[in-house]
Structure formats: C-alpha cells, structure tokens
Amino acid sequence: MGETGTALMQDSIGANINPAALSRTTSEANFYYSPSSLGDAYLGSIGLTYRLENYFTMGINYLRYEIKPIPVTDEFNNFAGELTWADSALTLILSREIDEFSFGLAVKGILRQEYNPIFKETTGTAGAVDFGIIFCPRKYKRLQAAYSYRNWGTMVTYSNDPKADLLPESSRIGLSYLFLENAANQLKLCLDGEYAISDSLRPAAGLEYTFE
C-alpha cells in the first residue's frame, strides 16, 4: 500500500507500523513470515499473535533489517573485505479495542551488528516503545483515522565504541477510506504522513483493489 498502513486494521505485519492494528485480528493464533527485498537491503519478520476474546490481542515478533555486503579497500586501495550491517528487534505487542478506538503498545529490544574488516566487529543495543491509536467511527464505517509513534527509547550504545546513535524516531498520521465493498470487489484508499525526528514530513498514498 505504498507505506500507508498506519490507519489499516491488519494482522501482525501491520503492527510494525502501528501496534493498534492487531486489535481486530480475527484468528486466535496467527503465524507469519514476511521477507521483502528493499533494493540494496533485506527486511524479514517472523512472529506469533494470539487473541484473547473480550480482552486484548497479544503478539510477539522478530524483525531483521540488513544491508547487502559492501566491499571495503585499505589505504593502498587493496580489497580488505566486506562491510556488513544489520538491525534486529524482538517486540512484544499488546492491542485492545474499546468502543470506536483501538489502542496498541509495543515494547522492543534492539540489537545492531556492524562488521568492518578494518575496525572489526561492533555490537550495539537499545530499548524502545511504539504506541498507536486507530479511530473507527460507527457513523462512517468506511473511514478510519490513526496516529502512531515509533522508536521512543534509549540511544544505541556500543560494546567497543564510545559513540552512541539516535534511534530513528518518527510519528505517523493516516487515513483510510473504503470506496467499494461487495462480495467480489473491494477498493481502498490510504493516505499517510510520516515525520521523522531527524528528517522532514514524508507524505505517501496507496490505492488497493482486490477481487475474487
């Protein structure tokens, strides 16, 4: 959906954008694996969700993002090896639907692994929280509005390096509208705006048509 999932009620995959997305997971247990190629990088996730009817939905997932190895040369322009870099996160998610609102909270531990053939291996750790809300008005059931905040937490500190890096904090707002829904067709429009703390506002739009 063109990175526009903030206002969508989805399964566990959507919880990576907005943890409130889990609140309407219909199945009691859902196991998923969603690898995707991102040009010169790779993103994959795997996890489990469980719905306790009339209470909340709980999820746990593991997400890994890594770049493709980059060749490194020494001061004499000789090949020295490959640079590798990867971020991993283990996340616990709780989500609940209350009246017209869905709320979600995610707590995660983050591991960063870097290897440079010249400076050798460096490991970094951090902790963070994501939270989100989705509003589904009864009078306009085709419309959903949402807000989420991601990666509010500690800085990434390293085992053998005094430096510390900021996590990529961001806030997102989103709208989704279901234009068409019948037994055979569905057309949905999604609009998102993401504001990264160290960047600027990035708007996005997505249109999805499904049919049987």
Q: Residue 27 has what DSSP assignment?
A: S
How far apart CA 42 and CA 187 sit, in angstroms, is 29
* Residue 123 binned pLDDT confidence (cut-offs 50, 70, 90): very high
Q: What is the pTM of this model?
A: 0.82
Query: Average model confidence (pLDDT) for the chain?
Result: 85
Q: What percentage of the chain has pLDDT greater than the value 90?
A: 33
Give the pLDDT of residue 157: 93
In this prediction, residue 199 carries a pLDDT of 74
- b/e for 104-120, b at 16 or more Cβ within 10 A? bebbbebebebbbbeee
Q: What is the pLDDT of residue 29?
A: 55
The label of the residue with tokens 């489990």 reads: 48
CB count within 10 Å of CB 212 equals 7
Compute the average pLDDT of residues 90-106: 93
Confidence of residue 203 (pLDDT cuts 50, 70, 90): confident
